[in-house]
Amino acid sequence: MIARRDVLRASAALALCGCRQRARPVREDGRLVVTFWYAYGDLVRKVLLELVARYNASQSRILVKAVHQGDYFEALAKLRTALAAGAAPTLSHVVLEVVPYLARAGVLEPLDDYDGAREMPFVPALDQRGSFAGAGREPLVAIPFNRSTPIAFANARVLEEERVEMPRTWEELAEAARRLTRRASNGEVRWGFEVPVSWWYWVAMVGQAGGRLVEPDGSLTLGGDAGVEAIRFWQRLVRQDRVMRQPPGRDYQAWQSSNESFLQGRIAMMWSSTAYVRYLEDNARFPVVAAPLPRHVRASVPTGGTMFVLVRSAPDEEKLAAWDFVRWMCADEQTIAWSTRTGYLPVTRPAVQRLAERGWYARHPNDRVAYDQLSDATPWPWSPDLFRVDRDVVEPRLEDAVLTGRDARALLDEARSEARRPA
Amino acid sequence: MTPRARWHPWAMLGPTLALLAVFFLAPIGVAAYESLFSWDLLTPPRFVGASNYAALAARGELLHVALRTTAYSAIVVLGTMSLGLALALLVDRPGRLFALVRTSVFSAYVVSWVAVALLWMWMLDGNGGIFGRALHGSPLGDPGWALPTLAVVGIWKLTGYSMIVFLAGLQGVPRSLHEAAALDGAGAWGRLRHVTLPLLAPTAAFVATTSLVTSFQAFDVVRIMTQGGPARSTELFVYAIYEQVFLDLSVGRASALTVVFFALLLALAALQLRVWRARGEAAR
Amino acid sequence: MKERRSATALWLALGGVALAAWVFPYAWMVVTSFKTLPEIMSNPTAPYARRLDLGAYREVFATMPVARYTAVTAAMASAIASAQIALALPAGYALAKLRFAGRRQAFGVVLACLLVPTQATFVPVFLMFAKVRLVNTMTALVLPFAASALGTFLVRQALLAVPDEIIEAARMDGASEWTIVYRIVAPMLRPTLVSLFLVSFVFHYSDYFWPLVMTTDDSVRTLPLGVALLREQGTGVRWNIVMAGNVVLSAPVLALFAVVQRHLLRAVGR
């Protein structure tokens, strides 16, 4: 009879020893494994996984394993802790705001000397050099992946019914929102306008109001007066005019909520990302029209989305393999597939040209909006503190400002002094 | 009994003590040490002394987190205790229906927090949720209502525990006392007030203090349902620690929060011990 | 007579309300899991699914390696529960039955650890595992729980009630200490050990917090984490899929509970 103790000991040992981190590089079926951590769900994830499968099927040397890690911020958190714990993947993608921080921490692989890196024909506003101001002499560490700008969406049927035109300035927006807001007798509201109260859209408005996050001399001004004006505009729309609803939920839950409400016809106009063009068009029961964001003192939009980054501490073989995959993803065919099936911008100039020649933009005018807006794109400052300022300092205060109506100037002064303090 | 060899007791206790020391006692010391540094896991740590604590106190963060966590725990404890007692009194009778109630209420306690949190998120969803639509929007999006909503979810999940403990306590009330009281002319309500409740007091103290300590450690419900929002209104202690480490990469701050959290727990545990000791004396 | 009948009716009614409050959410979860997304968006409060559509379940199994996650979770939970019993038995025995210098202090250590929750230790433990490169391994998920202060305490309490004569008799029969602990004492404590195992298994199976902190990718990802990730980003949550994931997560635990509840609740039922 086997003593219970022996059985227990054996199972404990089994559980414990199944369990050291694997030695790298890993090989499966003779193929080199590249781990790729990604952060999308639903439609975008489907497209990505199909592309990965296509790549894996197209050659037999490399196997890319894509692992879902939640949304951008969850994935980034996992990436950073994994880097610290020696459990990092080969390849991942990160939001632009965190690239300078990761670069300074020395965890990203410099890509200048990789095969073909310098010659890739990226759309100028979308690659590392074009997306950041003051990044001229920084080594190349990030390759554009899914790039976007914020754009305005509207329910074309409602606009037609109410005979309102797509607003082109802030004042026109406030007026249009007022005319489009309808309050039913049972308490239900059709809101004229909605936008997630968050960093990306605030930065857009700061630019439109003529301000800058960081002055050329490097001082952090958070937009100065323009920053205050942007917050006050939102406060006015939500609290005074009551034509805008602040979507509930944190981070991407708010974006989700806006999209859903828009699809259900409960919002007439909203700002969201070009990434949702296909999703919204396919799921709406009314025609969806997209337009550039309105201007104020000038037109300005930030770029968004993420860039591919290779992990420096990964074995060389894995990095070379990951680079092969990244180049493949940036090839015309793939970036066209990616962009046409989602709404993200195609990242290379030849790709844009081919799409135009095929008449894609003629058939899908909404897809063109974000690309045309690139001429008004404002680059991000190459500042290692940018991400911290975004997530820790500004984002929580934006929510606060609109929910409670605190004085915008006091809030930004507070934010500025906090941002200037070392981490 | 005397051990057969001097090393026997230590061989028997060795693995347990070693594991407990490494995973439960040493970490507190490590946290205290780390709280004196500023470290983002990617660059070398920097000694900053007590400035992590100062920063937490200065921004009022520490106080707010402590207050929020206390408020959440208080609502959950009061809710689960009153509901648990009421349910225990209700189901302490024979019959299929009451057995079913016992089982289903307790099953909520057994199921994963993930399942409960996701389920309630769905029911409260402003666009498609059964309650959310009736309320014209999810209460989770309102900074005033988010925390009480989380507390209600907590009550739904945890009432089973207090119900079971109260049921056991009710069983401990001798029938003879009930019969004697009935003979004296006490009605059902009178018996409840003068026989049952006083004898349940120690049980109630037990439930209260264990529920308090448990709900003070709440994390899953925040992480899944609100991630600390909106506007930080649901940022409870453990979630704040988690955020500091994994989202803000600020190990020093997280460690400082851990130290304060642990100190508060010790205070609560001391309270718990005091209450149990009183219960022990009352039983004598 | 009349009073009792109306009282009974009242209790039944209240019982019905309580039953509804705790059963309805589960029922709603199951109903939602059988709907399709357009159904949910067009008529969210419909009490029945139009037909038992398995699309949501198919999607769950397609996007998530359910079998693998379940296996990992079950392996982890049983490893923890088994280790806890294996270690608590000798430790509780030593504390209850053997007299030796340092016994009080050892017991003090065990009691002290009852006060320290994993929510207070996770940061340092994570840092410790990171240093030795054991983050994201089964070791990090199991080892911290292998010793259970509560289990040790309960075994000790239970053994205090066992008369010494039995053990002395076994010693005179020539049994080794290990035999005594695992072959003689253990069967006597069967109810306690079974409860400990079940409670520990269910708790760790359903645990979200510790695996969330200790894993960085999906190699040892547990089922609760996988289901929590079903909440997608940006394009609108597909609640039928999330609820299907919920059913997959909860069904085994509820089934297990249904089987053992008679045993567990016998003490408090009638």
Domains and CATH numbers, chain A: 25-147+304-373 (3.40.190.10), 150-302+385-420 (3.40.190.10)
Q: Which of C103, C123, C231 sits opposite B254 (nearest CB)?
A: C123
Quickly tell me which residue has 């050892």 as its tokens. Answer: C106
pLDDT score at A291: 94
Query: Could you say which residues from 88 to 117 on chain A have a Cβ atom under 8 Å away from some Cβ of chain C?
Result: 88-89
Check pLDDT > 60 for residue A163: yes
SS3 A151: strand
| Residues C146, C53 share a domain | no
SS3 C234: coil
CA distance B104 to chain C (A): 6
Please enumerate in sequence order all residues whose Cβ is within 8 A of that of A312, keeping only pairs 6 or more positions apart, or say none: A106, A107, A108, A109, A110
According to the model, what pLDDT value does residue C270 have? 42
Contact residues, chain C, for B251 at CB < 8 Å: 123, 127
Enumerate the residues of chain C whose CB falls inside 8 A of the CB of residue A37: 217
The answer for residues whose C-beta is within 8 angstroms of residue B177's C-beta and 6 or more apart is: B195, B199
Instruction: Looking at mean pLDDT, say which of A143-152, B263-272, C43-52 comes out highest.
Output: A143-152
- Any domain includes C17: no
Indicate if C152 and C110 belong to the same structural domain: yes
Residue C248 lies in a domain: yes
Residues of chain C with C-beta less than 8 angstroms from the C-beta of A342: none
Structure confidence at residue A3 (pLDDT): 46
What is residue A11's predicted lDDT score, i.e. its pLDDT? 52
Nearest to A399 among B40, B142, B231 (CB): B231
A85-89, A357-361, C209-213, C263-267: range with lowest mean pLDDT: C263-267
Spell out the residues 6+ positions from residue A371 whose beta carbon is closer than 8 angstroms to its own: A345, A346, A352, A361
- Angle between helical axes of C239-265 and C190-205 (0-180°, round to 10): 170
CA–CA dist C70, C49 (Å, integer): 27
Q: Which pLDDT score is estimated for A9? A: 54
Q: Does A73 touch chain B (CB under 8 A)?
A: yes
C79 touches chain A (CB under 8 A): yes
Q: Each residue of B75-101: b (16+ CB within 10 Å) or e?
A: bbbebbbebbbebbbbbbeeeebbbbb
A256 closest CB neighbour out of C63, C229, C233: C233
pLDDT at A1: 36
Q: Is A3 on the interface with C (CB under 8 A)?
A: yes
A199: how many CB neighbours lie within 10 A of its CB? 19
Task: Give the B window 242-281 contacts with A, CB below 8 Å.
Answer: 245-250
In a domain, C5, yes or no: no
Angle of CA points C10, C12, C18, to nearest 5°:
105
Centre a 10 Å sphere on the Cβ of residue B59 and count the other Cβ atoms it contains.
12
Task: Say if the Cβ atoms of B87 and C206 lie within 8 Å.
Answer: no
At residue B83, the 3 state secondary structure works out as helix
Calculate mean pLDDT across residues C182-191: 88
> What domains are there in chain B, each with its CATH number?
57-283 (1.10.3720.10)
Query: Does residue A374 carry a pLDDT above 70?
Result: yes
Q: What is the mean predicted confidence (pLDDT) over C100-110?
A: 90
pTM: 0.84
Asked if C130 and C186 sit in the same domain, the reply is yes
Residue C167 within any structural domain of the chain? yes
What's the length of chain A?
423
H helix or E strand, kind and range, residue A267: strand A267-273
Task: Indicate if the pLDDT at residue B137 is higher than 80.
Answer: no
Nearest CB among B22, B108, B114 relative to C208 is that of: B114
Q: At A187, phi and psi to the nearest 5?
A: 95, -15
Residue C141 lies inside a defined structural domain of this protein: yes
* Neighbouring chains to A with at least 3 Cβ pairs closer than 8 Å: B, C
A91-95 vs B37-38, strand pairing mode = unpaired
DSSP for residue C180? I
C9 within a domain of the structure (yes/no): no
C235 to A276: CB separation less than 8 angstroms, yes or no: yes
pLDDT score at B142: 81
Q: Does residue A121 have a cis bond before it (omega within 30 degrees)?
A: no
C236 backbone dihedrals φ, ψ, rounded to 5°: 90, 120
Quick one: which of A171, A167, A109 has its CA closest to A140?
A109
Compute the C-alpha angle B266/B271/B277, nearest 5°. Answer: 125
* Alpha-carbon distance A338 to nearest alpha carbon in chain B (angstroms): 29
Give the pLDDT confidence of A108-162 residue by residue, as tens digits.
999 999 999 888 999 999 999 999 987 778 999 999 999 999 999 999 999 999 9
Closest CA to C119 of C209, C215, C214: C209
**B230·A249 Cβ contact <8 A:** yes
Please answer yes or no on whether B40 and A77 come within 8 Å at the CB atom. Answer: no
CA dist., res. C175 & res. B69, Å (int): 53
Is A1 within 8 Å of chain C by CB?
Answer: no
Residue C235 to residue A259, Cβ atoms within 8 A: yes
Query: Quick one: C198 and C116 in the same domain?
Result: yes
C202 and C268 assigned to the same domain: no
pLDDT digits 0-9 by tens, C217-258: 888 999 999 998 887 654 567 888 899 999 999 998 888 888
The answer for residues whose C-beta is within 8 angstroms of residue B246's C-beta and 6 or more apart is A77, A78, A81, C213
Question: What's residue A269's pLDDT?
Answer: 94
**For residues C141-148, average pLDDT:** 94
**Looking at residue A2, what is its pLDDT?**
38
**A41 and C130: CB-CB below 8 Å?**
no
- Main-chain dihedrals φ then ψ at residue C98, nearest 5 degrees: -100, 140
Closest Cα of chain A to B43: distance in Å? 6
Q: What is the amino acid identity at position A414?
A: E
The total of structural domains in chain C comes to 2
Tell me: do C168 and C77 sit in the same domain: yes
Q: How far apart are CA A106 and CA C57, in angstroms?
A: 43
> If residue C137 lies in a helix (H) or strand (E), which one and from where to where?
none
pLDDT at B229 over 80: no
Among residues 37-56 of chain B, which lie with CB inside 8 Å of chain A? 38, 40-43
Rounded to a whole number of angstroms, the distance from the CA of A215 to the nearest CA of chain C is 33
Pair A208, A300: CB distance under 8 Å: yes
Place of tokens 């990242």: A347
Determine, for residues A391 and B141 on separate chains, whether the beta-carbon distance falls below 8 Å: no
| Same domain assignment for residues C105 and C208 | yes
- Tell whether C176 and C260 lie within a shared domain: no
The pLDDT tens digits for B175-207 are 788 888 878 877 777 777 777 888 888 888 888
Q: Count Cβ neighbours within 10 Å for each residue of A28-45 and write b for 16 or more, e otherwise.
A: eeebbbbbbbbbbbbbbb
CB-closest option in B21, B25, B87 to C18: B87
Note whether residue C113 is domain-resident.
yes
Which of C178, C197, C220 is the last residue before a domain boundary?
Answer: C220
| C237 and C107 within one domain | no
Do C128 and C41 fall within a single domain?
no
Residue B282: what pLDDT?
Answer: 62
Window 230-249 of C: residues touching A by CB (8 A cutoff) are 231-238
> Nearest CA of chain A to the CA of B246: how many Å?
5
- Return the higher-pLDDT residue of C144 and B272: C144
Instruction: Determine contact, residues A346/A127, Cβ cutoff 8 Å.
Output: no
Does B106 have pLDDT greater than 80? Answer: yes
Alpha-carbon distance of A210 to A297, in angstroms, equals 6
Set of chain B residues whose Cβ sits within 8 Å of the Cβ of C88:
16
| C-alpha span between B148 and B234 (Å, rounded) | 9
Same domain, C60 and C77: no
Please tell me whether residues C81 and C214 are part of one structural domain.
yes
pLDDT at A19 over 70: no
Average pLDDT over residues B28-53: 89
Domain that holds residue C52: 24-64+230-270
Give the chain B residue nearest A421 (alpha carbons). B55
| C150 belongs to a structural domain | yes
